[in-house]
Amino acid sequence: MWGRRRSKDPDSGPANSGLTGDPVIEEPPEPGPKDWRSRWRTLKESVRGTTAALPQVIRLVWDASPGVTAGLFAATVVAGIVPATSAYTSKLLVNAVVQGIVVHREHIADRIRLDLGLWHPTLTTLNAIIFLAVLQLLIFALIAFLSTARNITQQLLQNSVSMRIQLMVMEKAAGLDLAFYEDPASYDLLRRAQTDSINRPVMMISTAFGLVQTTLTFISMIALLVVVSPLLALIALISPIPAFIADTRYGWRGYNIARWGSRLLRRMNYLVTLLTTDSYAKEVKLFGLGQYFINRYRLIGETYYGSQRRQVVRRYAIGFLWGNLSTIATSVTYLYVALQAIAGRLTLGDLTLYTTAAQSVQTSIQGILGGFSGMYEHNLYLSNLFELLGTKTVLPVPARPVPVATPLRGEIRFEHVTFAYPGATENALTDLSFTVSPGETIAIVGRNGAGKTTLFKLICRLYDPVEGRVLIDDVDIRDYDPAALRGQIGGMFQDYVTYQATAAENIGLGNLPTLTDRDAVIKASRQAGSDALIAGLPQGYETALGKWFDAGVNLSGGEWQKVALARAFMRDARILLLDEPTSALDAQAEYELFERLRSLTRGRTAVYISHRFSTVRRADRILFLEHGRLVEQGTHEQLMRLNGRYARLFRLQAAAYTGEDVVPEEVDLDIAPSA
């Protein structure tokens, strides 16, 4: 079973794709000591962390749209003052109605004096009622307007902030090292930063502004309630606190479950991808995997959402129980004020005002505490975004980089290079030393896992060696600016990208300055041998490749590889790296490509990886890697005379065509001499 044990890190755990096994969420570690002193310390840390994060969030939202943010704040402040005005107007209106009844019944002088702050008009009861009703109508209209204004500004702000966060995540992701992408935990962090953090900044700002509004309402109402009874005011202040504590506690638990369940959610998304992406459709149908993936999604989803469902039920059930304290306190306030009105100590208008004030104070306290609880919860989710943005690059960039010569001479030298991937227990490369002269064509061969692609990653400075140096033109590549260095290297990896874009765009992306230069695109296409292929497409170079967006065309693996090769030729780079450039090409296309490479690589340093010895033999020199070590090197003829590992693999491959029997032999791990 996977995910059954308790782990220390939500991003670690047993490796499992979700296609088999028992999808049980790992339980988060216990939160620690439960004594009151520890809880109080935790509460203070939470308050400090939330208030410390608020300036970051305000700056994030303000930078997204200053005008809309200011508008939302203004609407919030006005909305905080209006409730007290409305309650006071209601008091005056009720008193005017009562006075009108007395005037009509006892036939006394029909005059009433309204206390409106600095203005004290004296009116007839009818005129006073009409005036106050109109005033109350205007207040209600203002409340409705402010609500609409806040909804509009929040939606506009949400759109702006969402785009800003996506851009921030994209910009950060573009600058992260390859090691980050090859770490499984990074997928969870990226997903959480993108999905969990998109709405949270605006929600946190809205909650913070809501706190301002609620605080203004609270201040204006509390004075009225204190006049009735300080004890009732104290009860109204204290009664919402237990519900706040419970809500905060379950807010943390909800975040913790979401964080620790993210591994399941990622597997659910992967299953959706398997069933909704064109590149998987053929195999899914061939092996009848559709219903199986659906059942696996249902099983994992029931586990994931089941944990969420239990959390929601507990949270709101506990909140309901603690919330009854506030209900009891409100009822006591009503009773007390009603008895005061019966005793003649308060008017009916006072009864309306004070009961409204009592309820508003409790609602305000709940809003303040609940608002802080919400800010705390939003901050937990936003920590994913700030964690991603705070991720540091592993590869240091020199403060004063050595300028990259344009063009490079193209000499590549490895000096006792040893490299191991992060977290790996074995080296991918060990004490590797060789030199590639400018303009030389080198073929890298060896069994799978020998370290061939790793070698390319080091040349591009996607990783740094653990020991030793990689030099280009006698300069340690760590002294170059990485982006400037990569700008002088053309290449194609074995897992090349199939961009869902036009044919011209697919090729042009190999050199952004000439992305829209059609002549450069066509030239690169001819060099790679993809021009005839593209000429046969419905709209030529304007044909969309792939089916994701437009009515595009699906290419075969070999056709996509030609397009990727053309992308590699877009740069006039002096170093050309090709990882399995002909793996998906037919024999004729492979032959034609390597015939062209003779002229295309003239004046360039070319290094390519290939398992096809018919093409490898054309290289100026061949390097044979085994278990990350250089065990043989030389020309094809020299290595055949050496009769070592290369010669044996060559004969094995040739035997498929000649029918020659090749006797299996043990391979010694000792390094063989160079030819």
User: What pLDDT, in 10s, does the model give residues 55-66?
Assistant: 877 887 888 888
Looking at the structure, tell me whether residues 370 and 500 fall in a common domain.
no
Residue 28 in any domain: the answer is: no
What is the chain's alpha carbon radius of gyration, rounded to the nearest angstrom?
A: 36
Write out the DSSP string of 401-439: PBPPPSS----EEEEEEEE--TT-SS-SEEEEEEEE-TT
Judge whether 360 and 253 are in contact, CB under 8 Å: no
Residue 34 in any domain: the answer is: no
Judge whether 327 and 320 are in contact, CB under 8 Å: no
Token look-up 């409204």 returns 356
Residue 13 in any domain: the answer is: no
Looking at the structure, tell me whether residues 468 and 500 fall in a common domain.
no
pLDDT of residue 1: 33
pLDDT above 60 for 429: yes
pLDDT band with cut points at 50, 70 and 90 for residue 13: very low
Looking at the structure, tell me whether residues 325 and 268 fall in a common domain.
yes
Q: Kindly state the tokens that stand for 269.
A: 């998304």
Judge whether 622 and 663 are in contact, CB under 8 Å: no
Helix axes 348-389, 290-342, angle to 10 degrees: 150
pLDDT digits (tens, 9 = 90+) for 299-310: 888 877 776 677
Report the b/e string of 369-406 with b at 16+ CB within 10 A: bbbbbbbbbbbbbbbbbbebbebeeeeeeeeebbebee
Judge whether 255 and 377 are in contact, CB under 8 Å: yes
Residue 80 in any domain: the answer is: yes
Domain final residue, candidates 551, 572, 593? 572
Interatomic CA distance for residues 391 and 523, integer angstroms: 41
pLDDT digits (tens, 9 = 90+) for 35-81: 556 556 655 666 666 676 678 778 878 888 888 888 888 888 888 88
CATH code for the domain of 565: 3.40.50.300
Domain final residue, candidates 99, 128, 159? 159
Domain final residue, candidates 548, 572, 596? 572
Looking at the structure, tell me whether residues 289 and 260 fall in a common domain.
yes
CATH code for the domain of 195: 1.20.1560.10
pLDDT of residue 466: 93
Strand pairing report for 621-626 and 441-446: parallel
Token look-up 């809205």 returns 206
Total number of domains constituting the chain: 4
Report the b/e string of 565-583 with b at 16+ CB within 10 A: bbbbbbbebbbbbbbbbbe
Interatomic CA distance for residues 161 and 56, integer angstroms: 13
Looking at the structure, tell me whether residues 332 and 377 fall in a common domain.
yes
pLDDT digits (tens, 9 = 90+) for 530-543: 999 999 998 999 99
Which has the higher per-residue pLDDT, 324 or 515? Answer: 515
CA-closest candidate to residue 447, choices 592, 626, 599, 211: 626
Token look-up 């000429």 returns 535
pLDDT digits (tens, 9 = 90+) for 373-422: 677 767 777 777 888 888 888 788 888 999 998 888 999 999 999 999 98
User: Can you give the three-state secondary structure of 247-310, one letter per residue?
Assistant: HHHHHHHHHHHHHHCHHHHHHHHHHHHHHHCHHHHHHHHHCCCHHHHHHHHHHHHHHHHHHHHH
CA-closest candidate to residue 227, choices 401, 20, 88, 433: 88
pLDDT above 90 for 631: yes
pLDDT digits (tens, 9 = 90+) for 571-626: 888 999 988 887 777 777 777 777 777 777 778 899 988 888 877 888 899 999 99
Q: In sequence order, what are the residues at sequence separation of 6 or more whose Cβ sits closer than 8 angstroms to the Cβ of residue 442?
A: 436, 605, 606, 607, 608, 619, 620, 621, 622, 623
CA-closest candidate to residue 242, choices 360, 326, 357: 326
Looking at the structure, tell me whether residues 482 and 584 fall in a common domain.
yes
pLDDT of residue 575: 92
Which CA distances in Å does 484 have to 389, 458, 464? Answer: 24, 15, 16
pLDDT band with cut points at 50, 70 and 90 for residue 12: very low
Number of helices followed by number of strands (H, E) in the chain: 22, 12
* Order of strands across the sheet that contains 489-492: 489-492, 575-579, 605-609, 441-446, 621-626, 629-634
Q: In sequence order, what are the residues at sequence separation of 6 or more whose Cβ sits closer than 8 angstroms to the Cβ of residue 512?
A: none
Q: Kindly state the tokens that stand for 500.
A: 């869902």
pLDDT of residue 670: 41
Looking at the structure, tell me whether residues 364 and 238 fall in a common domain.
yes
Predicted TM-score (pTM) above 0.75? no
Interatomic CA distance for residues 207 and 196, integer angstroms: 17
pLDDT band with cut points at 50, 70 and 90 for residue 474: very high
Q: Kindly state the tokens that stand for 126.
A: 């009818």
Strand pairing report for 575-579 and 605-609: parallel
Q: Report whether the peptide linkage leading into residue 407 is cis, meaning its omega lies within 30 degrees of zero.
A: yes
Which has the higher per-residue pLDDT, 99 or 239? Answer: 99
Interatomic CA distance for residues 53 and 342, integer angstroms: 51
Residue 326 in any domain: the answer is: yes
Looking at the structure, tell me whether residues 347 and 423 fall in a common domain.
no
Q: C-alpha angle with apex 528: 527 to 529, nearest 5 degrees?
A: 95
Looking at the structure, tell me whether residues 257 and 276 fall in a common domain.
yes
Least confident of 29-38, 245-254, 519-528, 637-646: 29-38
Interatomic CA distance for residues 65 and 67, integer angstroms: 6
Which contacts of 537-543 are long-range, i.e. CB under 8 A and separated by 24 or more positions?
Answer: 537/503, 540/503, 541/502, 541/503, 541/504, 542/502, 542/503, 542/504, 543/502, 543/503
Interatomic CA distance for residues 465 and 476, integer angstroms: 11
CA–chain centroid gap for 177, Å, is: 16
pLDDT above 80 for 5: no
Residue 255 in any domain: the answer is: yes
Residue 207 in any domain: the answer is: yes
Judge whether 496 and 561 are in contact, CB under 8 Å: yes
Judge whether 379 and 53 are in contact, CB under 8 Å: yes
Q: Could you tell me the residue range of the domain that residue 431 belongs to? A: 402-488+576-666
Question: How confident is the prediction for the chain on average, in pLDDT?
Answer: 79
Looking at the structure, tell me whether residues 136 and 185 fall in a common domain.
no
Looking at the structure, tell me whether residues 557 and 590 fall in a common domain.
no
Q: C-alpha angle with apex 392: 55 to 421, nearest 5 degrees?
A: 150
Looking at the structure, tell me whether residues 50 and 199 fall in a common domain.
yes
Judge whether 545 and 502 are in contact, CB under 8 Å: yes
Tell me the average pLDDT across 251-273: 66
Judge whether 575 and 605 are in contact, CB under 8 Å: yes
Start-to-end Cα distance in the chain: 53
Residue 551 in any domain: the answer is: yes
